């Protein structure tokens, strides 16, 4: 058995995954529609031998997203950007997000088969079922489907798509199921990878089941190593039920690295990014708007919300003042975890020369997902720890600001991981399946011909 090695993807929200990433001085605020820029960043991670480039998507837009998720307001359609990125690269996997709830299996099977041919075996489907309620309004739906309905539909949808990839004139599909009737065959030849790589993310029971059965890569959102380990073990054991080996599924949690030559510089960048976040007045500690609640910063950006979370009333405090140590002493468990997180990220504490502020608590409270701030060694240590502990097989890297955070990660952290022998120094093959060490699947249909 070959040695386990790290896998990396780039979660490519072009304006950066930090809500204010586009405001960072070197960021390209118009990145989302600048295909040459997207290609340059993709080439950057391809040079760093990343497994894939991940194109996220949302099927609706609203101006109110600009304060919470500006990157998610609008972007190029991912098959269009994916095919354009394929034309400018040669090895990196290209992950296109597509939601079966709002697609048709024949069309989607054709699109992925086409992208796989055009990219010569680098296409991948990030299968999402869509928690985005407002998308229904763009697709002639009366209402947003509930989770059960979406997953029932998705389960059959994936089976149809796989069947179409394997179909040919001798064995057309003739599918007749609960939701779909598809004659087939697909009129695009079987994809070079057989089946393009399938990604899935999610924490619900249905989602874990779908991932364990159908996904080659699972993209998880656990913020702590404990929850990530539990998720990792759960999904791999579920996969066993479907006769799949541990090595057949790569679990790649999201990770936001803020890295620089020195720890001090990294903390300064982290603070700089967060300085753009507009805080809200105290008073309302409830949920933020429903648009915001889908992504980062669903929580209120004020001390009322912090107070509710930590169990100590700090509302009305001067946000730039150092936090009174008594607050930490009186905080509940969540509160103590919040303080520890803020200290881990900012290196500031309630005592010592560098004090954390009330503002730091607000920022820490609204932050989601795993973040690591530090120099190359510190970030590499974090990655290695999660990898060794089997909390992760690698990471989907969230670039908080683009392109500089990508340059910092590929320029500083990647060489460190390569020195440690944890990460490839070159691609061993040319397809996305090759990078993941996955064989090309044989056709499901017994007498179908393959390429």
Partner 1 sequence: MAKPLHLGFLYAPQSGHQTHDESFDPLNPIHLTSLARDLEGAGFAFLLVDDSVGHAAPARSEAFTTASFLATRTRHIGLIAAANTSYVEPYNVTRLAASLDHVTHGRAGWLVATGVADPAGANYGQAAFAPDLHYQRAEEILDIARRLWDSWEDDAFVRDKRSGVFVDGAKIHPIDYIGASFTVKGPLNVARPPQGQVIVAHRVVDRRSAEFAGRHADIAILGAATAGDIAALRANVIAAASGARREEQHVRLFAEIVPVIGPDHAAGAPGATSASFLSGTATKIVDEIEALTNAVTLDGLLVAPRVLRSGLDAFSRDVVPELVRRQRLLSANGSITLRERLNLSRPRNIFEHKAPQHASTAG
Q: Which residues bind partner 1 (CB under 8 A)?
A: 20, 22-23, 25, 27, 29-30, 32-33, 35, 39, 58-64, 66, 70, 73-77, 79-84, 86-88, 102-104, 106-107, 110-111, 113-115, 117-120, 134, 137-141, 168-169, 172, 180-189, 276, 278
Least distance between partner 1 and beta carbon 166 (Å): 13
Element (H, E) at 197: strand 197-201
Cβ–Cβ under 8 Å, residues 170 and 443: no
CB of residue 24 to partner 1, shortest distance in Å:
8
User: Nearest to residue 345, comparing CAs of 318, 364, 327?
Assistant: 364
Specify the residue for token string 């001067």.
318
Residue number with CB closer to partner 1 (118 or 225): 118
Please report how close the Cβ of residue 332 comes to partner 1 at its closest, in angstroms: 33
Select 63 or 421, whichever has its Cβ closest to partner 1.
63
**Closer to partner 1 by Cβ: residue 166 or 349:** 166
CB of 389 vs partner 1, minimal distance in Å: 38
CB of 3 to partner 1, least distance (A): 33
Between 81 and 256, name the residue whose CB sits nearer to partner 1. 81
The smaller minimum CB distance to partner 1, of residues 79 and 386, is found at 79
Comparing CB distances to partner 1, the nearer of 30 and 429 is 30
Q: Which is nearer to partner 1, 7 or 58 (CB)?
A: 58
Minimum CB separation from partner 1 for residue 424, in Å? 25
Which backbone phi and psi does 134 adopt, to 5 degrees?
Answer: -75, -15
Q: Which is nearer to partner 1, 187 or 262 (CB)?
A: 187
Angle at 429 between CA 425 and CA 434, to 5 degrees: 105
Q: What is the CA radius of gyration of the chain?
A: 22
- Tell the smallest beta-carbon distance from residue 113 to partner 1 (Å): 8
Nearer to partner 1, 113 or 397 (CB): 113
Give the span between the Cα atoms of 214 and 199, in whole angstroms.
Answer: 8
Calpha distance 300→306 (Å, rounded):
8
Nearest distance from C-beta of residue 307 to partner 1, angstroms? 26
Identify which of 372, 392, 413 has the alpha carbon closest to the alpha carbon of residue 266: 372
Decide: 273 and 404 in contact? Cβ < 8 Å: no
- Alpha carbon 137 to its chain centroid, in Å, reads 25
Chain mean position to CA 219 = 6
Instruction: Tell me how crowded residue 364 is: count the other CB atoms within 10 A of its CB.
Output: 23
CB of 366 to partner 1, least distance (A): 16
Give CA–CA dist 197/249, Å, rounded: 11
Min dist CB 88 to partner 1, Å, is: 5
**What are 219's strand-pairing partners?**
201
Q: What is the 3-state secondary structure (H, E, C) of 246-303?
A: HHHCEECCEEEEEECCCHHHHHHHHHHHHHCCCCCCCCCCCECCCCHHHCCCCECCCH
CB of 311 to partner 1, least distance (A): 32
Our CB check for partner 1 shows the closer of 110 and 229 to be 110
Maximum separation of any 2 CA atoms in the chain, in Å: 75
* Distance (Å) of CA 121 to CA 35, 101, 115, 124, 402: 21, 26, 8, 9, 27
Q: What is the DSSP string of 205-244?
A: HHHHHHHHHH-SEEE----SHHHHHHHHHHHHHHHHHTT-
* Cα gap 64→397, rounded to integer Å: 26
Q: Which is nearer to partner 1, 6 or 297 (CB)?
A: 297
């Amino acid at each position: 058995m070959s040695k386990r090695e790290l896998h990396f993807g780039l979660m490519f929200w072009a304006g950066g995954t930090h809500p204010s990433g586009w405001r960072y001085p070197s960021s390209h605020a118009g990145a989302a529609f600048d295909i040459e820029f997207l290609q340059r960043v993709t080439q950057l991670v391809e040079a760093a031998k990343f497994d894939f480039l991940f194109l996220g998507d949302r099927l609706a837009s609203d101006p109110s997203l600009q304060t919470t998720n500006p990157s998610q307001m609008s972007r190029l359609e991912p098959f269009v950007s994916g095919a354009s990125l394929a034309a400018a690269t040669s090895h990196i996997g290209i992950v296109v997000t597509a939601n079966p709830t709002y697609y048709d299996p024949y069309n989607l099977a054709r699109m992925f088969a086409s992208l796989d041919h055009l990219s010569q075996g680098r296409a991948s489907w990030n299968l999402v079922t869509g928690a985005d309620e407002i998308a229904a309004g763009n697709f002639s739906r009366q209402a947003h489907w509930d989770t059960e309905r979406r997953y029932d539909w998705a389960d059959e949808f994936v089976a149809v798509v796989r069947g179409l990839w394997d179909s040919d004139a001798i064995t057309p599909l003739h599918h007749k199921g609960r939701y779909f009737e598809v004659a087939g065959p697909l009129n695009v030849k079987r994809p070079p990878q057989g089946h393009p790589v399938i990604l899935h993310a999610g924490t619900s029971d249905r989602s874990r089941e779908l991932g364990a059965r159908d996904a080659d890569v699972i993209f998880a959102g656990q913020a702590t190593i404990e929850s990530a380990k539990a998720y990792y073990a759960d999904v791999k054991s579920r996969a066993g039920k479907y006769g799949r080996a541990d090595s057949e599924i790569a679990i790649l949690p999201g990770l936001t690295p803020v890295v620089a030559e020195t720890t001090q510089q990294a903390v300064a960048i982290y603070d700089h990014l967060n300085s753009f976040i507009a805080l809200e007045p105290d008073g309302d500690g409830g949920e933020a708007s429903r648009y915001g609640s889908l992504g980062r910063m669903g929580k209120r950006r004020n001390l009322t919300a912090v107070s509710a979370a930590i169990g100590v009333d700090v509302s009305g405090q001067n946000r730039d003042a150092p936090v009174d140590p008594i607050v930490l002493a009186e905080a509940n468990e969540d509160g103590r975890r919040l303080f520890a997180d803020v200290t881990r990220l900012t290196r500031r504490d309630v005592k010592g020369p560098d004090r954390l502020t009330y503002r730091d608590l607000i920022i820490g409270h609204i932050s989601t997902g795993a973040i690591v701030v530090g120099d190359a060694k510190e970030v590499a240590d974090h990655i290695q720890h999660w990898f060794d502990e089997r909390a992760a097989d690698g990471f989907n890297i969230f670039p908080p600001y683009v392109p500089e955070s990508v340059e910092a990660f590929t320029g500083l952290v990647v060489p460190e991981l390569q020195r440690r022998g944890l990460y490839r120094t070159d691609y061993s093959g040319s397809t996305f399946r090759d990078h993941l060490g996955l064989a090309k699947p044989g056709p499901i249909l017994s007498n179908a011909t393959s390429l």
